[in-house]
Amino acid sequence: MAELVPIPLDLQLRRAFLEFEREGKIFDLPRAKFVRGVPGIDFSVVSNGHRASTPLGPAAGPHTQLLQNIVLCWLGGARIIELKTVQVLDELKIPRPCIDATNVTYNVEWSQELKLEQSLREYVSAAMFLEILKASGLLGEDIPATLHDAVFDMSVGYNLEGIRSPRVRAWLEGMKDASAVVDELRTTLTGRFRRYRDLAFPTCISDTVTLSTFHGCPAQEIEGIVTFLLTEMDLNVCVKMNPTLLGKEQAEHLLHDVLGYHQIELTDQAFGKDLKFDNALDLVPRLDRVARAHGKQLSLKFSNTLVVRNHRGV
């Protein structure tokens, strides 16, 4: 299996700046494709206490675990960027390809390619790259200052034991205070980029996290994870709600009768232990009270993957 190897920050900067000066592109995205906003219209939103210049952004996936892809998201107008879900099991053997997107998109769960320490360094590097890009003036008026503000949203999974483990705790703390990594990466800025060593890089890369749970994660497990993240890790939390929330009959009706995806086959196992809608109605208000009591925000995301039978044998 091919290994995913992050490219160091200094090399990414050299490539991007030279490419823009010579070809008018950054990571192959032409200047004409950069999102510039609309003069006189404010698209900004507040996300967990932070200003995001637009409400747009990618969901967590393999595409949001590398610096160059995060930068491309930003250039394309994304300002709420959900980073790839991390977990304590970070040396997985992933079948390739792990995503099939011919029409309906199918993916392999647990698709974390980087180790936790690599992920931390990559996300810090991406945040620093964007600060250097903004400070450089390279883009001129292509992207006005009113469109500069972005929010990085962490994503963790998949059970309470893994999330409470020392390594995941350390990763979360490292994202909240990345001073050590920032200081280390400053020393790698050489040549034309040396002048950015003293830039006021943000050391809090993120203080908000989206919880991704496996299908079959019961209500009490979700409650334990969210309570831990709110109270012990001092984070704002968004909880992904799986499509199984609706029950198999309703999910099949929507997929087959409403949307026409008759080829998609659901399994009884996917719905057996997963959170039910009635349970969610009890759970969410309790967690919201915990969040408010600790000065944090709780939000919900009603879109996530659905476990289905691999009828194509891909």
Tokens 């289905």, located at residue: 308
86 beta partners: 156
Residues 6+ apart with CB under 8 A from 170: 116
| pLDDT per position as a tens digit, 126-166 | 999 999 999 999 999 899 999 999 999 999 998 999 999 99
What pLDDT, on a 0 to 100 scale, did the predictor assign at position 111? 62
Pairwise pLDDT comparison (214 vs 266), residue with the higher score: 266
Judged against a pLDDT cut of 70, whether residue 2 lies above it is answered with no
Question: How far is it, in rounded angstroms, from Cα 169 to Cα 53?
Answer: 30
The stretch 219-236 carries a mean pLDDT of: 97
Q: Indicate the pTM of the whole model.
A: 0.93
Pairwise pLDDT comparison (144 vs 305), residue with the higher score: 144
What pLDDT, on a 0 to 100 scale, did the predictor assign at position 51? 97
Q: What percent of the chain has pLDDT over 70?
A: 98
Judged against a pLDDT cut of 60, whether residue 1 lies above it is answered with no
Judged against a pLDDT cut of 70, whether residue 7 lies above it is answered with yes
| pLDDT per position as a tens digit, 171-205 | 999 999 999 999 999 999 999 999 999 999 999 99
| pLDDT per position as a tens digit, 11-23 | 999 999 999 999 9
| pLDDT per position as a tens digit, 33-79 | 999 999 999 999 999 989 999 999 999 988 899 999 999 999 999 99
When the pLDDT of each residue in the chain is averaged and rounded to a whole number, the result is: 93
Judged against a pLDDT cut of 70, whether residue 247 lies above it is answered with yes
What pLDDT, on a 0 to 100 scale, did the predictor assign at position 63? 85
* DSSP secondary structure letters along the chain: -PPP-PPPHHHHHHHHHHHHHHHSEETTEEGGGS----TT----EEETTEEESSS--PPSSGGGSSHHHHHHHHHTT--EEEPPPB-S-------SSSEE-SSS-EE-SS---S-HHHHHHHHHHHHHHHHHHHHHTTTTTSS-GGG---EEEEEE-S-HHHHTSHHHHHHHHHHH--HHHHHHHHTT--GGGGGGTTS---S---SEEEE---TT--HHHHHHHHHHHHHTS--EEEEEPPGGGG-HHHHHIIIIIIS--TT--B-THHHHSSPPHHHHHHHHHHHHHHHHHTT--EEEE------B--TT--
Tokens 């009884």, located at residue: 268
